[in-house]
Structure 1
């Protein structure tokens, strides 16, 4: 099917390597990695008056916020991230601190409904961008659970959300009743919170599905805020869809950066970070090019690999490497469709509480369970038809699958059968997915996900997690500074972890500016 000419996915993520003759041999700050967090950090630093050079290993900037033609020409697929919900509450966008929305062409649709969950019995639950409407949906299943839902959201908006904002920004939580309640809630598991507060299976299914949005096992202590935080985000922002694809975010950041005199260079994997007298002074690329950093180096290199870039890694960087674990690895199916799905929503969710528990248990055994698994179904041409030729649709399923299969099968030969299984699960509940509706399909196992982006170690697209010596689990390393002077961390392995939040980028920029004696208030607020 020919392209309509409405959208070229490369246009939202384009930035090719500059010719050697035009490359600056030095900059105030060198940022390693042009994922959205690296670019957010670079944008703030450049806006503060620093000359910034960003070096990206891959052929396109964006990292996991990238849009590509994965199936057929003219079909723009988000290779990894699709919803940009968490970043909406980041002051980067909430206060438009860098002008991405007002000046640099970034545009979102905040959908209503936010998500639809079609159920096995033919019913469905719709999450709206409205507390009353969503509570009314739940009341059809359980009036008491609808009341409990209202209370959960009102508690969050009544004080917990503000504390969560401090946590996301890397600030101390402070004291007081709200801070104490947040700490207590966060220490629990999402599973326990859901089962304590809700009774009806349909409502529990919804809340558990929402709680898996950041790809963490909801049964683990430390996930207790997810039912509240994810739900509140969906009620407020819907399924926040960037017009033109996920790559629209890095594209806007690059326009900003280049307007401030910064540069982004692709196909420039960094092989070494130079350290002189205990301070980071530059980098060298795999092909032997050297770039001097006059004031700082910020790296979004995966913390499991960062020690390999240093002649002598400091103890904190080594500790981060040793604590890192991949967490839940993912499996994706991308497809070009004749039209949109029958849900008439950008996102749909499948999976019962019992089915998700079986899936997670199977995951840890190295097996897949597709009987009733957690599935995220994305059909964003419903709200952004520019992503496909006239009348056609782009489609994605995301789920969880083990890195290694216990049956010994190689994913290269096993992935199509598993893809067919989960497509069939969706087909049983959603129209528009008959075999003839699928024009082309691409299955990506956890190993394919890792190959697509070197940052997706172990098939984890959310940065994995850290198992601390005391038994605590962290979703992002808590410090942006390192034991090397002038070397700072950002990216999905930095606090508060993965997803499209922009928080690691903004937080790292604050740390760099403060270290250099520059006032972060010149480019960002105090939140």
Structure 2
């Protein structure tokens, strides 16, 4: 009998497995796909020699993750690469606001009327990031806060809607940049806790940048798997689990899956019936004949580029998919330029590039033309550089990763109280009615992102279970 079986070899499942194996427990991971990684994979999607990330490519919370920092992942090949600028947000006039490693550079890009406001927002937390992120990403608390005063101060700013915090800015440059940060979790700007989303992404850039792994996001999953094997754990791919009886006997079963999947497999009935899945993504991976010809010079050196001309335009795009269940006429785009900092991702002189916009849950249309019209507004001549493209709407995203129900890459709506209380209102979101079954996916706190903290937090619950039942 194994101590623990983990279902799903995404970053959270692998992190939970590593945490348990490092403490001497026997662990095996079972993955339905032929390769590991979940949302952290790298594949040739377009042309030979062009290495794309089918989902996540940039990891603001990965490099600073308390779970990852406590592991010697560099020993297994993980190397973080930092672009000159973490993020740029261009405007139609050819200028751009930026999210730089430097608070002063970021504030200056917002204009003289909002520079001081931005500095005042981030100053109380800039030097306390390690303690803050550790406490914030352990919520609901799996350990006593190391810095409860800073956490409480952050919570006072973070809990209100982003629309409230954005009122502090006088010009739309700052409002648009902040609205774009919130949109990374596909949440309407008026939702509870959305101020905290924007602040976390901004502080992460100032503390550790928005890096990319050399070779692609697959490097994160491969490093975790290498560390797991070093501690005696095993990984089995091409093994689809339909019920608990498909798995070997174990003292604990840990699921890096959607709540609906663990309910189906473990026979939990309607335990997660109230869990809501949210709006989806429409993603395009490009093979380009050269770098993206952004009009704003700052965007040409940024790893991530947010594309939305104003806070109103961004809010309208988010409202269209979240409230009115329709694709936006003018989508807000999040784009990534991995080959700017990692030339080995494409043949010499060529580039890989991805962009995604938001669409309704389960949408079956084609957003390609709208995406490329938006890109042409800020990078005239973009279409002339396209050598090949690979598109993935909600059905394709769900087919690649079963956790992306209806194309929801956040594994559950990050709106309303569900942004904070996932997957349901409970003291222990990682446990289930089955005493030996646990949930560790992005459907649990702290939520979406390649940071492993959901797996780390769930592993703590599993430790308690294993100690109580020797």
Compute the TM-score of the two structures, normalised by the length of structure 2. 0.90
Say whether the 8 Å CA contact 2:41–2:54 is kept in structure 1: yes
Structure 1 range deviating more: 77-86 or 226-235: 226-235
Deviation at 1:238, TM superposition (A): 2.4
Please list, as runs of the form range in 1=range in 2, the aligned pairs for 1:28-427 lying within 5 A after superposition: 28-94=3-69, 97-101=70-74, 103-138=75-110, 141=111, 143-157=112-126, 162-170=131-139, 171=141, 177-195=149-167, 197-273=168-244, 283-284=245-246, 290-293=247-250, 295-311=251-267, 313=268, 318-319=270-271, 321-342=272-293, 343-351=300-308, 352-363=310-321, 364-371=323-330, 373-403=331-361, 411=364, 414-415=365-366, 418-427=367-376
> Among 459, 463, 470, which residue is 1:513 paired with?
463
CA RMSD of aligned residues (A): 2.3
Shift of 1:323: 2.2
* Equivalent-residue separation in structure 1 for 2:438 and 2:360 (angstroms): 32
Q: Match of 2:409, SS? A: coil
Q: Do 1:168 and 1:496's aligned partners in 2 also have CA atoms closer than 8 Å?
A: yes
SS at structure 1 position matched to 2:113: helix
1:366 positional shift: 2.6
Q: Secondary structure at the match of 1:517?
A: helix
Tell me if the contact between 1:30 and 1:54 (Cα under 8 Å) persists in the aligned partners: yes
1:217 to partner: Cα distance = 2.1
Aligned 8 A contact 2:160 2:194 in 1:
yes
Q: Output the CA distance in 2 between the equivalents of 1:105 and 1:230.
A: 26
2-structure distance, mates of 1:183, 1:442: 40
1:239 shift after superposition: 2.3
Q: Using a 3 Å threshold, how does the CA distance of structure 1 residues 433 and 366 change in structure 2: closer, same or farther?
A: same
| Aligned-partner Cα distance in 2 for 1:213–1:467 | 12
SS of aligned partner of 1:396:
strand
State how far apart, in whole Å, the 1-side matches of 2:362 and 2:264 are.
Answer: 25
Q: CA deviation at 1:211?
A: 1.9
Report which of the two structures shows the higher radius of gyration computed on alpha carbons.
Answer: 1
Give CA-to-partner distance per residue, 1:228-281, whole Å, 9 cap, x none.
Answer: 2111112222221010001100101111111222111111111112xxxxxxxx
Distance 1:107 1:218 in 2: 34
Where in structure 2 are there 5+ consecutive unaligned residues? Answer: 294-299
Gaps of 5+ in 1: 1-25, 274-282, 285-289, 406-410, 519-527
Bigger drift between 419-428 and 384-393 goes to 419-428
Partner of 1:446: 394
Does 1 or 2 have the higher relative contact order (CA < 8 Å, sep 6+)? 2
Distance 1:39 1:153, change over 3 A: same
Counterpart in the other structure of 2:297: none
Contact 1:189–1:223 (8 Å) recurs in 2: yes
Output one character per residue of 1:434-485: Cα deviation in whole Å (capped at 9) or x when no partner. Answer: 32x11101221122211221110021111113889xx665363352222222
Whether the 8 Å contact between 2:125 and 2:150 is mirrored in structure 1 is no
CA contact (8 A) 1:90 1:501 kept: yes
Q: Is the 8 A contact 1:115 1:346 kept in 2?
A: yes
Deviation at 1:426, TM superposition (A): 1.0
Deviates more, 1:257-266 or 1:150-159: 150-159
What is the CA deviation profile of residues 399-421 of structure 1, one whole-angstrom value per residue up to 9, with x for unaligned ones? 1011356xxxxx2xx41xx2122
Give the C-alpha shift of residue 152 in structure 1: 0.6
2: CA distance between counterparts of 1:155 and 1:161? 13
5 Å-filtered alignment, 1:449-464, equals: 449-464=397-412
2:79 & 2:182 partners in 1: Cα distance? 26
Contact 1:330/1:459, CA 8 A, preserved across alignment:
yes
* Deviation string, structure 1 residues 501-525 (Cα, Å, up to 9, x no partner): 210111112221232229xxxxxxx
3-state SS of paired residue (1:67):
coil
CA distance in 1, matches of 2:432, 2:454: 15
